[in-house]
Structure 1
Amino acid sequence: MTQKLDTIDQKILSILQKDAMCSVDTISEKVALSRNACWRRIKAMEANGVIRARVALLDASKIGCPLTALVLIRTDHHSDAWRREFAIAVAALPEITTAQRMTGDLDYVLTVRLADVAAYDHFYKRLTSRISVSDISASFVMEDIKDTTALPL
């Protein structure tokens, strides 16, 4: 269900998407609300799930996983049991940062963060030992042109 957000909520969310560590005092100044009114709005958006979490965004290169692979998977298995097995495999592999079930020609797309191509090979072997797929391929990101977690408001 879509949450109806007024312009003040949108401004608060825009600020938090840029810097979740921004203080309530700073946010309230920027949106021209009292500290308490701003805090109540943030807490309400957390309670109703608009704000799912506040996280730290890390520099992948500085922590040893500069390579991004987009892993494309096709499968002949579409049972509930296989999907559960796949979800368990995805959850067990921390290199996978996103996993999406697709419409069209592909069944799944994974975003995977790794140190290098050798690490991808190791990841590939661990993944395919856990689940059966009919086709798997990867493309490696050469340049991030846009990489954001901010959603359009």
Structure 2
Amino acid sequence: MHNIDNIDRRILVELQRDAGQSLETLGATVGLSRNACWRRMRQMEEAGVIKGRVALLDAARLGLPLTVFIQVRTNAHAPDWLERFSTATRAMPEIMGVYRMSGELDYLIRAQVADMAGYDRLYQSLIRKVPLSDVSASFVMEEIKETTALPL
């Protein structure tokens, strides 16, 4: 595990806010030279602390305004079923996240689609690829908070 000090934390907070800022700007914000900042970022990338840098897109402006949470229960818990389920969900670009859950719910899926017809196509495609016991969906009516930033 990489030891994170206060300067690393400040770098990470700034990168979560804007990963596209220049090294000069980032260094000035955290009190380091451009090169020292770059070395720290590289060390954190090599340690796996920084997994990647991405652009965050506006789903609604790109024609995908509907967020759906799909709750899945299954009677199948064999490794081969899980492999089929994992392969199927990873291959579907509408699916943004898949989580194995504790409690009564087995899996929670977060997807982004254009509309109800888009959700139905996603649902039909998923059940063709892997048998599911019970599937229910909840549609987001209002996004109150959405962030990718970890609380550092």
| TM-score over 0.5 (shorter chain) | yes
Question: For residues 47-84 of structure 1, what are the alpha-carbon distances to aligned partners after superposition, in whole Å with 9 as ceiling and x for unaligned?
Answer: 11000000010000111100000000000000000000
What's 1:58 paired with? 57
TM-score, scaled relative to structure 1: 0.97
Distance apart, 1:4 and its partner CA: 2.6
Distance apart, 1:35 and its partner CA: 1.2
Identity of aligned residues (%): 51
What's 2:100 paired with? 101
What's 1:37 paired with? 36
Q: Partners of 2:130 and 2:124 in 1: how far apart? A: 10
Q: Partners of 1:4 and 1:41 in 2: how far apart? A: 11
Q: Partners of 1:120 and 1:104 in 2: how far apart? A: 25
What's 2:91 paired with? 92
* 1:86 counterpart SS class: helix
Distance apart, 1:92 and its partner CA: 1.5
TM-score, scaled relative to structure 2: 0.98
Name structure 1 gaps, 5 residues minimum.
Answer: none
Q: Partners of 1:8 and 1:91 in 2: how far apart? A: 36
Q: Partners of 1:100 and 1:133 in 2: how far apart? A: 15
Q: Partners of 1:50 and 1:94 in 2: how far apart? A: 25
- Give matches, 1:4-153, under 5 Å: 4-153=3-152
Residue identity matched to 2:9 = Q
Q: Partners of 2:15 and 2:116 in 1: how far apart? A: 35
Q: Partners of 1:88 and 1:137 in 2: how far apart? A: 21
Q: Partners of 2:94 and 2:81 in 1: how far apart? A: 21
Residue identity matched to 1:40 = R
Q: Partners of 1:89 and 1:21 in 2: how far apart? A: 33
* 2:50 counterpart SS class: coil
Name structure 2 gaps, 5 residues minimum.
Answer: none
